[in-house]
């Protein structure tokens, strides 16, 4: 489910790449689908596997939060830097490196003897994903031109939707039959095929640009987001707002402020040029992205957890329960894109966010004895339609909100913002993941209502800041 959400957001990364023509465009397309699927499917499958991981390592709620955020943190913070590294040293080379790192880290996850080892391997997975994802999408965009480019990106997005539907079901079945470690062993064979195809059919490239990389910015962003996520995890957990939690929040805020100062100093050489925020529409789109994808990120963690722990679902059944989401979203997104093309992105973004809020309110009916067809499926369908209404217009609006020289930075930052929203949301879920029985269902419903309010805030930011006809 999370794969197709982020895939729709990441389309802008491919759309903003310089156009070109490859000698083997179809094989390049297959390569990018395989590479991107590593980063997309992994998150969805791990969400379904959280109860099994908790049982295996006797993990606490904070441990489960970090099982997700150890991956999201480097991916969110280093995504822009990963694209810049590809521009500097060659997308093909960095793509192969990122896929290899991701595969090795996946094997380490499968063999993890302890929770600490698993979390370290998840961090390395996130670093690999930050390298492979932007370079995979830039490679896709650069292999086609004209109408063929749009068709290739559409094929890539459709493949992401299929993976989003099949991945959690197949992963859940593996968890039930073999164990949670097997879900990480899905990655190395896909990675090997992606590396082989990239080595053989992706053209060698290297940019002559020798401007310094924004390593300091990447370092500050990672430490800042990590400190904030850690502070939130402790603060909302059983220990409350201890001195350590407050210190982490203050330190994280300071590091993020230092990151902004560094980006201002570097100007257009920064991985996040502050010139982007001169556009009021871009600011509104960023707020909407963080809020909307944050609410969805929290739901994607909690819904399978609630279905398995409170509803008695197997891991495979929980994965199958979410399968309609990516399929509905994939079918409805082209219609939403056409509407936005005719009337502008503002109202589809506002209406889509409000519809997601309605779906989250419907999810408050989910409980231990709830019928799937009358209680679980309706909110999934409503949320999918809402996300379809927002996702396609968001991609186009981001690219149109800044001048041509900043489109790559804007699309990369928007993709990173979507994952940052999920990072923050996961850090706030400690009390729900620590609950059980009737308390778990009650806390799940409170979280769903909170998510609905966040989505309404996203709609309000879109209405107030996104210009008419954007």
Asked whether 371 and 455 are in contact (CB, 8 A), the reply is no
Structure tokens at 181: 């470690």
3-state class of 402 per DSSP? coil
Helix-strand-coil split of the chain, %, nearest 5: 85, 0, 15
Torsion angle defined by CA atoms of residues 59, 53, 325 and 306, in that order, rounded to the nearest 10 degrees? -50
Which of 66, 140, 7, 121 shows the shortest CA–CA distance to 418? 7
Question: Residue 168: is its pLDDT beyond 60?
Answer: yes
Which band of pLDDT confidence, cut at 50, 70 and 90, is reported for residue 281? very high
Asked whether 252 and 232 are in contact (CB, 8 A), the reply is no
Query: What mean pLDDT do residues 265-294 have?
Result: 92
Which band of pLDDT confidence, cut at 50, 70 and 90, is reported for residue 397? confident
Torsion angle defined by CA atoms of residues 440, 55, 179 and 193, in that order, rounded to the nearest 10 degrees? 80
Name the least confident of 38-47, 50-59, 365-374, 420-429. 38-47
Query: What mean pLDDT do residues 348-361 have?
Result: 96
Which band of pLDDT confidence, cut at 50, 70 and 90, is reported for residue 120? very high
pLDDT tens per residue across span 411-454:
889 999 999 999 999 999 998 999 998 999 999 999 999 999 99
Q: Kindly state the helix (H) or strand (E) to which residue 307 belongs, with its residue range.
A: helix 280-309
pLDDT tens per residue across span 294-322:
999 999 899 999 999 999 999 999 999 99
Asked whether 149 and 19 are in contact (CB, 8 A), the reply is yes
- pLDDT the model gives residue 176: 96
Q: How many residues does the chain have?
A: 470
Question: Residue 408: is its pLDDT beyond 90?
Answer: no
- pLDDT the model gives residue 203: 85
Q: How far apart are CA 255 and CA 365, in angstroms?
A: 41
How many Cα atoms are found within 13 Å in the side-chain-facing hemisphere of 108? 17
Question: Residue 3: is its pLDDT beyond 70?
Answer: no
Which band of pLDDT confidence, cut at 50, 70 and 90, is reported for residue 208? low
Alpha-helix runs per DSSP H in 58-146: 61-89, 91-110, 115-142
Structure tokens at 252: 């994280």
Q: How far apart are CA 85 and CA 113, in angstroms?
A: 33
3-state class of 284 per DSSP? helix
Mean residue pLDDT across the chain: 90
Which of 433, 354, 328, 373 shows the shortest CA–CA distance to 67? 433
Structure tokens at 457: 């805030």
Name residues whose C-beta falls within 8 Å of residue 215's C-beta, 6 or more positions apart in sequence. 81
Which of 286, 295, 319 shows the shortest CA–CA distance to 429? 295
Please report the sign of the dihedral spanned by the C-alpha atoms of residue 266, residue 272, residue 275, residue 277. Answer: negative
Which band of pLDDT confidence, cut at 50, 70 and 90, is reported for residue 63? very high
51: number of Cβ within 10 Å = 21
With b for 16 or more beta-carbon neighbours within 10 A and e for fewer, the 308-346 pattern comes to bbbbebbbbbbbbbbbbbbebbbebbeebbebbeeebbb
Q: How far apart are CA 5 and CA 10, in angstroms?
A: 9
Let me know if 16 is exposed, middle or buried by CB neighbors in 10 A (0-12, 13-18, 19+).
buried
- pLDDT the model gives residue 5: 67
pLDDT tens per residue across span 137-166:
888 888 888 788 878 888 888 888 888 788
Query: What mean pLDDT do residues 57-78 have?
Result: 94
Which of 363, 424, 437 shows the shortest CA–CA distance to 225? 424
Instruction: Report how far apart, in Å, the C-alpha atoms of 18 and of each of 14, 83, 137, 145, 408 are.
Output: 9, 13, 11, 9, 9
Which band of pLDDT confidence, cut at 50, 70 and 90, is reported for residue 232? very high
Let me know if 300 is exposed, middle or buried by CB neighbors in 10 A (0-12, 13-18, 19+).
buried
Question: Residue 128: is its pLDDT beyond 80?
Answer: yes
- pLDDT the model gives residue 4: 59
pLDDT tens per residue across span 320-347:
999 999 889 888 888 887 888 788 889 9
Which of 322, 318, 381, 325 shows the shortest CA–CA distance to 355? 381
Which band of pLDDT confidence, cut at 50, 70 and 90, is reported for residue 84? confident
Q: How far apart are CA 240 and CA 135, in angstroms?
A: 41
């Amino acid at each position: 489910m999370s794969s197709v959400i982020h895939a729709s957001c990441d389309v802008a990364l491919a759309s903003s790449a310089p156009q070109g023509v490859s000698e083997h465009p179809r094989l390049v397309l297959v390569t990018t689908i395989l590479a991107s699927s590593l980063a997309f499917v992994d998150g969805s499958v791990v969400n379904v596997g959280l109860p099994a991981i908790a049982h295996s390592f006797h993990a606490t709620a904070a441990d489960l939060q970090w099982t997700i955020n150890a991956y999201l943190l480097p991916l969110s913070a280093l995504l822009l830097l990963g694209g810049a590294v590809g521009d500097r040293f060659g997308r093909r080379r960095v793509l192969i490196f990122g896929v290899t790192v991701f595969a090795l880290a996946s094997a380490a996850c499968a063999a993890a003897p302890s929770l600490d080892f698993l979390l370290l391997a998840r961090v390395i997975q996130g670093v690999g994903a930050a390298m492979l994802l932007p370079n995979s999408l830039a490679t896709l965009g650069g292999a086609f031109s004209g109408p063929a480019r749009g068709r290739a990106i559409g094929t890539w997005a459709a493949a992401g939707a299929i993976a989003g539907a099949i991945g959690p079901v197949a992963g859940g079945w593996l968890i039930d039959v073999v164990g949670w470690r097997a879900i990480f062993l899905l990655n190395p064979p896909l990675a090997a095929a992606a590396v082989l195809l990239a080595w053989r059919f992706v053209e060698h490239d290297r940019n002559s640009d020798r401007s310094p990389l924004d390593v300091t910015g990447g370092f500050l962003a990672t430490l800042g987001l990590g400190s904030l996520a850690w502070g939130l995890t402790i603060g909302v957990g059983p220990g409350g707002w201890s001195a350590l939690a407050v210190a982490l929040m203050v330190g994280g805020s300071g590091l993020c402020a230092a990151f902004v100062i560094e980006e201002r100093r570097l100007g257009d050489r920064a991985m996040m040029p502050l010139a982007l925020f001169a556009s009021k529409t871009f600011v509104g789109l960023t707020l909407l992205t963080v809020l909307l994808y944050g609410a969805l990120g929290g739901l994607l963690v909690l819904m399978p957890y609630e279905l398995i722990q409170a509803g008695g679902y197997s891991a495979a059944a929980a994965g199958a329960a979410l399968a309609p989401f990516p399929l509905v979203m994939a079918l409805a997104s082209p219609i939403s894109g056409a509407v936005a093309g005719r009337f502008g992105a503002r109202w589809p973004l506002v209406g889509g966010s409000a519809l997601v809020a309605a779906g989250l309110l419907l999810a408050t009916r989910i409980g231990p004895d709830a019928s799937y067809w009358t209680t679980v499926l309706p909110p999934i369908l409503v949320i999918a339609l809402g996300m379809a209404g927002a996702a396609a217009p968001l991609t186009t609006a981001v690219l149109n909100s800044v001048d041509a020289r900043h489109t790559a930075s804007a699309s990369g930052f928007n993709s990173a913002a979507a994952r940052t929203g999920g990072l923050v949301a996961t850090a706030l879920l400690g009390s729900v993941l620590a609950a059980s029985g009737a308390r778990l269902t009650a806390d799940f419903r409170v979280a769903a209502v909170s998510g609905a309010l966040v989505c309404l805030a996203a709609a309000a930011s879109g209405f107030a800041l996104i210009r008419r006809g954007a």
